């Protein structure tokens, strides 16, 4: 998948947009206090804990999921994107793994 940016205090979020639902990765670049909200995910390898995004970036999930930190990053990011209502929903890694391992492209 290429050189991966390590993310800590990470979690996944489903973002509702005009063109449908997309899964994004939220977290903090390891060794910094910089939050990162990725573009939509295109692939996820649960075994290696790596994701590839629509922009081509690759991220490595370090440590455990941290929904509280991810929620704070998401709450700060949504208004900056012009989102008035909460259009983000945190989702568990198992749900994301199932989505990317199935033939389904949509979310229930």
Q: What tens digit of pLDDT does each residue of 56-102 get? A: 999 999 999 988 888 887 777 777 766 655 556 778 788 888 877 76
pLDDT class of 50 with cuts at 50, 70, 90: very high
Q: Which helix (H) or strand (E) holds 94?
A: helix 93-101
Please tell me the total count of domains within the chain.
Answer: 1
What tokens does 31 get? 């060794």
* Rounded Cα gap, residues 52 and 60, in angstroms: 9
- Residue 55 domain flag: yes
Q: Is residue 108 part of a domain?
A: no
Question: Taking 80 as the threshold, does the pLDDT of residue 25 lie above it?
Answer: yes
Q: Does any domain span residue 106?
A: no
Give a yes or no: residue 42 inside a domain: yes
What is the span of the domain harbouring residue 51? 5-101
Residue 72 falls within a domain, yes or no?
A: yes
Summary mean pLDDT of the chain: 81
Q: What is the pLDDT of residue 84?
A: 53
Distance CA 28, CA 70 (A): 9
Burial of 2 (0-12, 13-18, 19+ CB in 10 A): exposed
* Residue 64 included in any domain: yes
């Amino acid at each position: 998948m290429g050189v991966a940016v390590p993310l800590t205090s990470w979690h996944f979020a489903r973002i509702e947009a005009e063109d449908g639902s997309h899964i994004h990765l939220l977290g903090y670049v390891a060794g910094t206090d910089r939050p990162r909200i990725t573009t939509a995910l295109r692939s996820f390898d649960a075994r290696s804990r790596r994701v590839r995004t629509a922009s081509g970036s690759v991220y490595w999930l370090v440590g455990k999921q941290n929904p509280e930190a991810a929620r704070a990053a998401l709450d700060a990011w949504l208004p900056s994107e012009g989102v008035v209502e909460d259009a983000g929903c945190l989702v568990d890694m198992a749900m994301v793994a199932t989505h990317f391992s199935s033939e389904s492209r949509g979310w229930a």
